[in-house]
Amino acid sequence: MNPKNSKRKILIIGGVAAGTSAASKARRTDSNADIKIIQEESLVAYGSCGMPYVIEGKINNFNKLIARSIEEFKNKYNIEIFVNTKAVRIDTFKKRVYTKNLQDKKRKIFDYTSLIITTGARSVIPKIKGLSLDNQNKIKGIFFLRNFEDGVNIQNYLKNVKSIIVVGTGLIGSEMVEAFRLRGKSVIFIGNKDRILANILDKDMAEIVVKELYKNGIKVILDEKVEQILFHKSENKNSPISIEGIQTSKEKIYADCVLFGVGIKPNSEIASEAGIKLGIHDAIKVDEYMRTNVADVYAAGDCATAYNYVTKTDTYLPLGTTANKQGRIAGENAAGGNTKFAGIAGSAITKIFGLYVGKTGLNKEEALKNGFDPVEHTIEDITRAGYYPDNKKLWIKLIADKKSRKVLGAQIVGGEAVKGRLDLISFALLKHASVDDLKNYDACYVPPVSPVWEPINIAAAQISKLLSRSTVIKH
Protein backbone atom coordinates (compact mmCIF):
# COMPACT_ATOMS: atom_id res chain seq x y z
CA MET A 1 0.00 0.00 0.00
CA ASN A 2 1.10 3.53 -0.68
CA PRO A 3 1.63 5.49 2.57
CA LYS A 4 -0.98 8.14 3.20
CA ASN A 5 -0.20 11.49 1.59
CA SER A 6 2.79 9.95 -0.23
CA LYS A 7 2.77 10.28 -4.00
CA ARG A 8 3.20 6.97 -5.81
CA LYS A 9 6.20 6.91 -8.18
CA ILE A 10 5.58 4.77 -11.25
CA LEU A 11 8.61 4.27 -13.47
CA ILE A 12 8.33 2.63 -16.88
CA ILE A 13 11.29 1.37 -18.91
CA GLY A 14 10.27 1.47 -22.57
CA GLY A 15 7.94 3.84 -24.38
CA VAL A 16 6.32 2.17 -27.37
CA ALA A 17 3.14 0.03 -27.26
CA ALA A 18 3.17 -1.59 -23.83
CA GLY A 19 4.99 1.27 -22.11
CA THR A 20 2.73 4.09 -23.20
CA SER A 21 -0.40 1.96 -22.67
CA ALA A 22 0.83 1.30 -19.14
CA ALA A 23 1.53 4.97 -18.49
CA SER A 24 -1.86 6.11 -19.79
CA LYS A 25 -3.79 3.55 -17.75
CA ALA A 26 -1.71 4.28 -14.65
CA ARG A 27 -2.61 7.94 -14.97
CA ARG A 28 -6.33 7.13 -15.27
CA THR A 29 -6.04 4.88 -12.22
CA ASP A 30 -4.07 7.28 -10.04
CA SER A 31 -4.44 10.92 -11.03
CA ASN A 32 -1.91 11.98 -8.40
CA ALA A 33 0.93 9.57 -9.23
CA ASP A 34 4.33 10.67 -10.45
CA ILE A 35 4.72 8.79 -13.76
CA LYS A 36 7.92 8.70 -15.78
CA ILE A 37 8.95 6.80 -18.92
CA ILE A 38 12.55 6.01 -19.83
CA GLN A 39 12.84 5.50 -23.58
CA GLU A 40 15.98 4.44 -25.44
CA GLU A 41 14.74 5.81 -28.79
CA SER A 42 14.05 9.44 -29.63
CA LEU A 43 10.32 8.80 -30.20
CA VAL A 44 7.51 7.18 -28.23
CA ALA A 45 4.05 5.76 -28.87
CA TYR A 46 4.46 4.85 -32.52
CA GLY A 47 2.72 2.02 -34.33
CA SER A 48 5.53 -0.21 -35.55
CA CYS A 49 3.01 -2.59 -37.15
CA GLY A 50 2.26 0.14 -39.69
CA MET A 51 5.81 0.49 -41.01
CA PRO A 52 5.43 -1.90 -43.98
CA TYR A 53 2.46 0.15 -45.18
CA VAL A 54 4.47 3.37 -45.11
CA ILE A 55 7.26 1.69 -47.05
CA GLU A 56 4.83 0.39 -49.69
CA GLY A 57 3.32 3.87 -50.05
CA LYS A 58 -0.16 3.23 -48.65
CA ILE A 59 0.61 5.64 -45.80
CA ASN A 60 2.54 8.66 -47.01
CA ASN A 61 4.54 9.58 -43.90
CA PHE A 62 6.17 7.71 -41.02
CA ASN A 63 5.08 10.48 -38.65
CA LYS A 64 1.47 9.35 -39.11
CA LEU A 65 2.38 6.26 -37.08
CA ILE A 66 3.03 8.40 -33.99
CA ALA A 67 -0.05 8.20 -31.76
CA ARG A 68 1.01 10.84 -29.22
CA SER A 69 3.91 13.23 -28.96
CA ILE A 70 6.18 13.63 -25.96
CA GLU A 71 4.65 17.08 -25.42
CA GLU A 72 1.13 15.66 -25.37
CA PHE A 73 2.07 13.11 -22.74
CA LYS A 74 3.51 15.90 -20.61
CA ASN A 75 0.88 18.59 -21.11
CA LYS A 76 -2.27 16.47 -21.30
CA TYR A 77 -1.45 13.51 -19.07
CA ASN A 78 1.33 14.85 -16.84
CA ILE A 79 3.60 11.97 -17.83
CA GLU A 80 7.28 12.85 -18.12
CA ILE A 81 9.33 11.08 -20.79
CA PHE A 82 13.12 10.84 -20.96
CA VAL A 83 14.11 9.92 -24.52
CA ASN A 84 17.53 8.78 -25.75
CA THR A 85 17.95 7.33 -22.29
CA LYS A 86 19.09 3.78 -21.68
CA ALA A 87 18.35 1.91 -18.47
CA VAL A 88 21.61 0.17 -17.55
CA ARG A 89 20.82 -1.35 -14.14
CA ILE A 90 17.89 -2.04 -11.85
CA ASP A 91 18.36 -2.19 -8.09
CA THR A 92 15.19 -3.82 -6.79
CA PHE A 93 16.35 -3.58 -3.15
CA LYS A 94 16.79 0.20 -3.24
CA LYS A 95 14.03 0.55 -5.86
CA ARG A 96 16.22 2.48 -8.25
CA VAL A 97 16.98 2.41 -11.96
CA TYR A 98 20.35 3.66 -13.17
CA THR A 99 20.39 5.22 -16.64
CA LYS A 100 22.69 6.77 -19.23
CA ASN A 101 21.78 9.44 -21.76
CA LEU A 102 22.86 8.16 -25.18
CA GLN A 103 23.63 11.66 -26.47
CA ASP A 104 25.46 13.52 -23.70
CA LYS A 105 26.45 10.32 -21.77
CA LYS A 106 25.19 11.81 -18.50
CA ARG A 107 24.08 9.41 -15.78
CA LYS A 108 20.83 9.72 -13.87
CA ILE A 109 19.14 7.70 -11.13
CA PHE A 110 15.37 7.22 -10.97
CA ASP A 111 13.59 6.05 -7.81
CA TYR A 112 10.31 4.17 -8.01
CA THR A 113 7.44 2.83 -5.95
CA SER A 114 6.31 0.59 -8.81
CA LEU A 115 8.42 -0.39 -11.81
CA ILE A 116 7.05 -1.56 -15.16
CA ILE A 117 9.49 -3.15 -17.60
CA THR A 118 8.40 -2.81 -21.23
CA THR A 119 11.76 -3.09 -22.92
CA GLY A 120 10.35 -4.84 -25.99
CA ALA A 121 12.36 -7.11 -28.24
CA ARG A 122 15.08 -6.88 -30.87
CA SER A 123 15.71 -8.52 -34.21
CA VAL A 124 17.54 -11.82 -34.22
CA ILE A 125 20.84 -11.52 -36.09
CA PRO A 126 21.33 -14.89 -37.79
CA LYS A 127 24.65 -16.69 -37.60
CA ILE A 128 25.81 -16.12 -41.17
CA LYS A 129 29.33 -15.66 -42.47
CA GLY A 130 29.91 -11.97 -43.09
CA LEU A 131 27.20 -10.78 -40.70
CA SER A 132 27.70 -9.96 -37.02
CA LEU A 133 26.43 -7.72 -34.27
CA ASP A 134 29.45 -5.47 -34.80
CA ASN A 135 29.16 -4.96 -38.56
CA GLN A 136 25.42 -5.15 -39.29
CA ASN A 137 25.08 -1.36 -39.28
CA LYS A 138 28.24 -0.79 -41.34
CA ILE A 139 27.24 -2.77 -44.43
CA LYS A 140 25.34 -0.89 -47.12
CA GLY A 141 22.24 -2.79 -48.14
CA ILE A 142 21.58 -4.95 -45.06
CA PHE A 143 18.49 -4.16 -43.02
CA PHE A 144 16.34 -5.35 -40.15
CA LEU A 145 12.89 -3.89 -39.46
CA ARG A 146 12.17 -3.45 -35.79
CA ASN A 147 12.00 0.22 -34.81
CA PHE A 148 11.09 3.59 -36.29
CA GLU A 149 14.63 4.37 -37.40
CA ASP A 150 14.88 1.02 -39.22
CA GLY A 151 11.79 1.87 -41.24
CA VAL A 152 13.02 5.32 -42.22
CA ASN A 153 16.43 3.93 -43.24
CA ILE A 154 14.83 1.28 -45.46
CA GLN A 155 12.54 3.86 -47.05
CA ASN A 156 15.45 6.14 -47.88
CA TYR A 157 17.63 3.34 -49.26
CA LEU A 158 14.96 2.05 -51.66
CA LYS A 159 15.37 5.00 -54.02
CA ASN A 160 18.45 3.45 -55.66
CA VAL A 161 17.49 -0.22 -55.35
CA LYS A 162 16.11 -2.50 -58.06
CA SER A 163 16.31 -5.95 -56.47
CA ILE A 164 15.75 -7.14 -52.91
CA ILE A 165 16.12 -10.42 -51.05
CA VAL A 166 13.88 -10.94 -48.03
CA VAL A 167 15.27 -13.61 -45.69
CA GLY A 168 12.75 -15.07 -43.26
CA THR A 169 9.26 -16.17 -44.25
CA GLY A 170 7.37 -15.11 -41.13
CA LEU A 171 5.04 -12.17 -40.58
CA ILE A 172 7.62 -9.40 -41.07
CA GLY A 173 9.03 -10.96 -44.22
CA SER A 174 5.60 -11.67 -45.70
CA GLU A 175 4.44 -8.10 -45.23
CA MET A 176 7.67 -6.64 -46.55
CA VAL A 177 7.78 -8.64 -49.80
CA GLU A 178 4.46 -7.07 -50.71
CA ALA A 179 5.68 -3.60 -49.71
CA PHE A 180 8.81 -3.92 -51.85
CA ARG A 181 6.92 -5.35 -54.82
CA LEU A 182 4.40 -2.51 -54.72
CA ARG A 183 7.37 -0.15 -54.89
CA GLY A 184 8.30 -1.79 -58.20
CA LYS A 185 11.22 -3.85 -56.91
CA SER A 186 12.26 -7.34 -57.98
CA VAL A 187 11.80 -9.48 -54.87
CA ILE A 188 13.08 -12.90 -53.81
CA PHE A 189 11.54 -14.41 -50.68
CA ILE A 190 13.69 -17.07 -49.02
CA GLY A 191 13.34 -19.24 -45.93
CA ASN A 192 14.86 -22.36 -44.42
CA LYS A 193 11.55 -24.06 -43.63
CA ASP A 194 9.25 -26.08 -45.89
CA ARG A 195 6.58 -23.38 -45.96
CA ILE A 196 5.99 -19.69 -45.41
CA LEU A 197 4.33 -18.36 -42.25
CA ALA A 198 5.20 -21.60 -40.45
CA ASN A 199 4.02 -20.23 -37.08
CA ILE A 200 0.58 -19.52 -38.53
CA LEU A 201 -0.17 -21.93 -41.37
CA ASP A 202 0.17 -25.62 -42.08
CA LYS A 203 1.79 -26.51 -45.39
CA ASP A 204 -1.46 -27.04 -47.31
CA MET A 205 -2.78 -23.62 -46.26
CA ALA A 206 0.59 -21.94 -46.87
CA GLU A 207 0.62 -23.22 -50.45
CA ILE A 208 -2.48 -21.13 -51.17
CA VAL A 209 -0.54 -18.03 -50.13
CA VAL A 210 2.55 -19.02 -52.12
CA LYS A 211 0.40 -19.12 -55.27
CA GLU A 212 -0.70 -15.56 -54.50
CA LEU A 213 2.93 -14.49 -54.13
CA TYR A 214 3.89 -16.05 -57.47
CA LYS A 215 0.89 -14.41 -59.11
CA ASN A 216 2.24 -11.04 -57.97
CA GLY A 217 5.77 -11.60 -59.20
CA ILE A 218 7.48 -12.79 -56.02
CA LYS A 219 10.03 -15.59 -56.36
CA VAL A 220 9.70 -17.92 -53.37
CA ILE A 221 12.58 -20.18 -52.29
CA LEU A 222 12.00 -22.63 -49.44
CA ASP A 223 14.16 -25.17 -47.61
CA GLU A 224 17.32 -23.17 -48.25
CA LYS A 225 19.58 -21.81 -45.55
CA VAL A 226 21.49 -18.57 -46.03
CA GLU A 227 25.14 -19.33 -45.27
CA GLN A 228 27.09 -16.23 -46.29
CA ILE A 229 26.80 -12.57 -47.24
CA LEU A 230 28.43 -11.70 -50.56
CA PHE A 231 30.15 -8.31 -50.85
CA HIS A 232 31.24 -6.12 -53.74
CA LYS A 233 35.01 -6.02 -54.04
CA SER A 234 36.54 -2.59 -53.56
CA GLU A 235 40.13 -1.45 -53.96
CA ASN A 236 39.49 1.47 -51.62
CA LYS A 237 39.66 0.19 -48.05
CA ASN A 238 37.96 3.34 -46.76
CA SER A 239 34.85 2.98 -48.92
CA PRO A 240 31.72 1.51 -47.29
CA ILE A 241 31.19 -2.24 -47.61
CA SER A 242 28.22 -2.90 -49.87
CA ILE A 243 26.27 -6.08 -50.36
CA GLU A 244 26.28 -8.07 -53.59
CA GLY A 245 23.96 -10.88 -52.55
CA ILE A 246 23.86 -14.09 -50.53
CA GLN A 247 25.18 -17.63 -50.69
CA THR A 248 22.63 -20.26 -49.67
CA SER A 249 23.04 -23.96 -49.07
CA LYS A 250 22.29 -24.47 -52.78
CA GLU A 251 23.09 -21.34 -54.80
CA LYS A 252 24.30 -17.75 -55.05
CA ILE A 253 21.60 -15.10 -55.31
CA TYR A 254 22.43 -11.51 -56.25
CA ALA A 255 20.54 -8.39 -55.19
CA ASP A 256 21.01 -4.74 -54.24
CA CYS A 257 19.58 -5.13 -50.76
CA VAL A 258 18.80 -7.81 -48.16
CA LEU A 259 16.18 -7.56 -45.42
CA PHE A 260 16.41 -10.06 -42.58
CA GLY A 261 13.22 -10.97 -40.74
CA VAL A 262 14.17 -14.21 -39.02
CA GLY A 263 12.58 -13.53 -35.65
CA ILE A 264 12.93 -11.41 -32.54
CA LYS A 265 14.19 -11.98 -29.00
CA PRO A 266 13.08 -10.25 -25.79
CA ASN A 267 15.18 -7.49 -24.26
CA SER A 268 15.19 -9.16 -20.87
CA GLU A 269 18.85 -9.02 -19.87
CA ILE A 270 18.48 -6.00 -17.58
CA ALA A 271 15.66 -7.78 -15.74
CA SER A 272 17.58 -11.03 -15.40
CA GLU A 273 20.63 -9.20 -14.02
CA ALA A 274 18.37 -7.69 -11.36
CA GLY A 275 17.18 -11.11 -10.18
CA ILE A 276 13.90 -11.06 -12.07
CA LYS A 277 12.91 -14.52 -13.24
CA LEU A 278 12.76 -15.34 -16.95
CA GLY A 279 10.42 -17.83 -18.57
CA ILE A 280 9.91 -19.32 -22.01
CA HIS A 281 12.25 -17.97 -24.72
CA ASP A 282 14.00 -15.90 -22.01
CA ALA A 283 11.03 -13.55 -21.76
CA ILE A 284 10.28 -12.04 -18.34
CA LYS A 285 7.93 -14.38 -16.51
CA VAL A 286 4.74 -12.69 -15.33
CA ASP A 287 1.52 -13.82 -13.65
CA GLU A 288 -2.02 -12.81 -14.61
CA TYR A 289 -1.55 -9.46 -12.84
CA MET A 290 1.62 -8.84 -14.91
CA ARG A 291 3.70 -9.14 -11.75
CA THR A 292 7.20 -10.56 -11.83
CA ASN A 293 8.74 -12.61 -9.01
CA VAL A 294 10.05 -9.36 -7.48
CA ALA A 295 7.69 -7.22 -5.41
CA ASP A 296 6.42 -4.04 -7.11
CA VAL A 297 8.02 -4.95 -10.44
CA TYR A 298 5.77 -5.61 -13.43
CA ALA A 299 6.49 -6.46 -17.06
CA ALA A 300 4.47 -6.34 -20.26
CA GLY A 301 4.69 -6.55 -24.02
CA ASP A 302 7.35 -8.08 -26.23
CA CYS A 303 9.74 -8.64 -23.31
CA ALA A 304 7.23 -10.68 -21.29
CA THR A 305 5.52 -14.06 -21.33
CA ALA A 306 1.78 -14.36 -22.00
CA TYR A 307 -0.71 -16.91 -20.68
CA ASN A 308 -2.33 -19.02 -23.40
CA TYR A 309 -5.90 -19.88 -22.42
CA VAL A 310 -6.07 -22.81 -24.85
CA THR A 311 -3.01 -24.69 -23.58
CA LYS A 312 -3.19 -23.19 -20.07
CA THR A 313 0.56 -22.55 -20.24
CA ASP A 314 2.85 -19.57 -20.65
CA THR A 315 3.89 -18.72 -24.18
CA TYR A 316 5.87 -16.04 -25.99
CA LEU A 317 3.97 -14.37 -28.81
CA PRO A 318 5.16 -10.79 -29.36
CA LEU A 319 2.29 -8.98 -31.08
CA GLY A 320 1.02 -5.42 -30.87
CA THR A 321 -2.39 -6.42 -29.52
CA THR A 322 -0.87 -8.39 -26.66
CA ALA A 323 1.59 -5.60 -25.84
CA ASN A 324 -1.16 -2.99 -25.56
CA LYS A 325 -3.43 -5.18 -23.45
CA GLN A 326 -0.66 -6.33 -21.12
CA GLY A 327 0.61 -2.78 -20.78
CA ARG A 328 -2.84 -1.60 -19.78
CA ILE A 329 -3.11 -4.27 -17.07
CA ALA A 330 0.40 -3.58 -15.77
CA GLY A 331 -0.25 0.16 -15.61
CA GLU A 332 -3.50 -0.25 -13.72
CA ASN A 333 -2.05 -2.67 -11.19
CA ALA A 334 1.15 -0.68 -10.69
CA ALA A 335 -1.10 2.24 -9.78
CA GLY A 336 -3.00 0.27 -7.16
CA GLY A 337 -5.43 -1.78 -9.24
CA ASN A 338 -6.11 -5.51 -9.08
CA THR A 339 -7.03 -6.55 -12.62
CA LYS A 340 -6.20 -9.86 -14.30
CA PHE A 341 -5.01 -10.38 -17.87
CA ALA A 342 -7.31 -12.97 -19.46
CA GLY A 343 -4.60 -14.32 -21.72
CA ILE A 344 -4.29 -15.01 -25.43
CA ALA A 345 -5.23 -17.67 -27.94
CA GLY A 346 -2.32 -16.93 -30.26
CA SER A 347 -4.46 -14.94 -32.68
CA ALA A 348 -2.58 -13.37 -35.59
CA ILE A 349 -3.49 -12.04 -39.02
CA THR A 350 -1.74 -10.41 -41.95
CA LYS A 351 -2.49 -9.25 -45.48
CA ILE A 352 -0.53 -10.57 -48.45
CA PHE A 353 -1.58 -8.95 -51.73
CA GLY A 354 -5.18 -10.12 -52.32
CA LEU A 355 -5.37 -12.49 -49.37
CA TYR A 356 -5.93 -12.14 -45.66
CA VAL A 357 -4.16 -14.85 -43.70
CA GLY A 358 -4.62 -15.72 -40.06
CA LYS A 359 -4.68 -18.20 -37.24
CA THR A 360 -6.07 -18.53 -33.75
CA GLY A 361 -5.48 -21.28 -31.22
CA LEU A 362 -3.51 -24.40 -32.08
CA ASN A 363 -2.67 -26.35 -35.19
CA LYS A 364 -2.66 -30.16 -35.11
CA GLU A 365 1.03 -30.45 -34.25
CA GLU A 366 0.72 -27.97 -31.37
CA ALA A 367 -2.40 -29.74 -30.12
CA LEU A 368 -0.58 -33.08 -29.99
CA LYS A 369 2.33 -31.52 -28.09
CA ASN A 370 -0.12 -30.18 -25.50
CA GLY A 371 -1.80 -33.52 -24.84
CA PHE A 372 -4.90 -33.22 -27.01
CA ASP A 373 -6.21 -35.82 -29.46
CA PRO A 374 -6.83 -33.49 -32.41
CA VAL A 375 -8.91 -33.87 -35.54
CA GLU A 376 -8.65 -31.34 -38.36
CA HIS A 377 -10.80 -30.56 -41.34
CA THR A 378 -10.52 -28.00 -44.15
CA ILE A 379 -13.28 -26.53 -46.29
CA GLU A 380 -13.19 -24.24 -49.31
CA ASP A 381 -16.08 -21.81 -49.58
CA ILE A 382 -17.00 -18.31 -50.77
CA THR A 383 -17.47 -15.02 -48.93
CA ARG A 384 -20.77 -13.88 -50.47
CA ALA A 385 -23.88 -15.37 -52.02
CA GLY A 386 -22.92 -17.36 -55.11
CA TYR A 387 -24.74 -15.04 -57.48
CA TYR A 388 -23.40 -11.82 -55.94
CA PRO A 389 -20.56 -9.97 -57.76
CA ASP A 390 -16.95 -9.84 -56.53
CA ASN A 391 -17.11 -13.10 -54.63
CA LYS A 392 -13.87 -14.18 -52.96
CA LYS A 393 -12.65 -17.64 -52.06
CA LEU A 394 -12.29 -18.65 -48.42
CA TRP A 395 -10.42 -21.59 -46.90
CA ILE A 396 -11.06 -22.61 -43.28
CA LYS A 397 -9.12 -25.27 -41.41
CA LEU A 398 -10.72 -26.15 -38.08
CA ILE A 399 -9.03 -28.19 -35.33
CA ALA A 400 -10.93 -29.86 -32.48
CA ASP A 401 -10.27 -32.33 -29.67
CA LYS A 402 -11.73 -35.80 -30.23
CA LYS A 403 -12.50 -36.54 -26.59
CA SER A 404 -13.98 -33.25 -25.39
CA ARG A 405 -15.23 -32.02 -28.81
CA LYS A 406 -13.82 -28.61 -27.88
CA VAL A 407 -12.55 -26.27 -30.56
CA LEU A 408 -8.74 -26.04 -30.45
CA GLY A 409 -7.94 -23.63 -33.25
CA ALA A 410 -8.38 -22.49 -36.82
CA GLN A 411 -6.46 -21.22 -39.82
CA ILE A 412 -8.28 -19.06 -42.36
CA VAL A 413 -7.13 -17.75 -45.73
CA GLY A 414 -9.38 -15.68 -47.97
CA GLY A 415 -9.94 -12.62 -50.07
CA GLU A 416 -12.07 -10.91 -47.42
CA ALA A 417 -14.01 -11.46 -44.18
CA VAL A 418 -11.19 -13.38 -42.50
CA LYS A 419 -10.61 -11.31 -39.34
CA GLY A 420 -14.21 -11.45 -38.12
CA ARG A 421 -14.33 -15.21 -38.44
CA LEU A 422 -11.01 -15.62 -36.65
CA ASP A 423 -12.23 -13.34 -33.87
CA LEU A 424 -15.34 -15.49 -33.50
CA ILE A 425 -13.26 -18.64 -33.12
CA SER A 426 -10.90 -16.88 -30.70
CA PHE A 427 -13.92 -16.05 -28.55
CA ALA A 428 -15.05 -19.66 -28.82
CA LEU A 429 -11.63 -20.70 -27.53
CA LEU A 430 -11.88 -18.27 -24.62
CA LYS A 431 -15.23 -19.80 -23.66
CA HIS A 432 -14.02 -23.37 -24.29
CA ALA A 433 -16.81 -23.86 -26.81
CA SER A 434 -17.42 -27.12 -28.64
CA VAL A 435 -17.67 -27.73 -32.37
CA ASP A 436 -21.40 -28.18 -31.77
CA ASP A 437 -21.58 -24.62 -30.43
CA LEU A 438 -19.90 -23.37 -33.61
CA LYS A 439 -22.16 -25.55 -35.73
CA ASN A 440 -25.31 -24.16 -34.14
CA TYR A 441 -24.62 -20.47 -33.54
CA ASP A 442 -26.98 -18.12 -35.40
CA ALA A 443 -25.03 -16.27 -38.09
CA CYS A 444 -26.17 -13.18 -39.98
CA TYR A 445 -26.84 -13.36 -43.71
CA VAL A 446 -27.23 -10.89 -46.55
CA PRO A 447 -25.92 -11.65 -50.09
CA PRO A 448 -23.30 -8.83 -50.28
CA VAL A 449 -21.44 -10.04 -47.18
CA SER A 450 -22.02 -13.78 -46.75
CA PRO A 451 -23.40 -16.97 -48.27
CA VAL A 452 -26.67 -18.24 -46.83
CA TRP A 453 -24.81 -21.03 -45.05
CA GLU A 454 -22.10 -19.48 -42.88
CA PRO A 455 -18.74 -21.16 -43.65
CA ILE A 456 -17.89 -21.47 -39.95
CA ASN A 457 -21.16 -23.37 -39.40
CA ILE A 458 -20.28 -25.66 -42.30
CA ALA A 459 -16.72 -26.33 -41.13
CA ALA A 460 -17.95 -27.07 -37.61
CA ALA A 461 -20.73 -29.35 -38.85
CA GLN A 462 -18.32 -31.35 -40.97
CA ILE A 463 -15.73 -31.78 -38.23
CA SER A 464 -18.56 -32.68 -35.83
CA LYS A 465 -19.37 -35.62 -38.11
CA LEU A 466 -15.74 -36.72 -38.02
CA LEU A 467 -15.72 -36.57 -34.24
CA SER A 468 -18.95 -38.56 -34.02
CA ARG A 469 -17.63 -41.51 -36.00
CA SER A 470 -16.70 -44.52 -33.96
CA THR A 471 -13.27 -44.56 -35.63
CA VAL A 472 -11.54 -41.38 -36.71
CA ILE A 473 -8.90 -41.80 -39.38
CA LYS A 474 -5.81 -40.01 -38.13
CA HIS A 475 -3.81 -38.26 -40.84
Active site residues: 49
DSSP assignments along 423-443, one per residue: HHHHHHHHTT-BHHHHHHS--
Query: How far is residue 74's CA from residue 80's CA, in Å, rounded to a whole number?
Result: 5
Q: Where are the beta strands (DSSP E) in 96-202?
A: 96-101, 107-111, 114-117, 121-123, 139-140, 142-144, 163-167, 186-190
Closest CA to 424 of 380, 375, 368, 361: 361
Q: How far is CA 8 from the centre of its chain?
A: 32
Residue 158: which of 141, 175, 172, 174 has the closest Cα? 141
Q: Which residues neighbour 475 within 8 Å (Cβ) at sequence distance 6 or greater? A: none
Strands 9-13, 226-231: pairing is: unpaired
At 89, the amino acid letter reads R
The tally of CA atoms less than 13 A away on the side-chain side of residue 142 is 25
- Among candidates 355, 50, 58, which has minimal Cα distance to 183? 58
Torsion over CA: 61, 66, 67, 68 (sign): negative
Beta bridge partners of 228: 129, 247
DSSP code per residue over 234-283: -S-TTSPEEEEEEEESS-EEE-SEEEE-S-EEE--HHHHHTTPPB-GGGP
**Beta-ladder partners of 252:** 247
CA 420/CA 473 separation, integer angstroms: 31
Does an H or E element contain 226, and which?
strand 226-231
Q: How far is CA 74 from CA 12, 115, 298, in A?
A: 15, 19, 23
Q: How far apart are the first and last CA of the chain?
A: 56
* Three-state DSSP state, 97: strand
The 10 Å Cβ neighbour count of residue 401 is 20
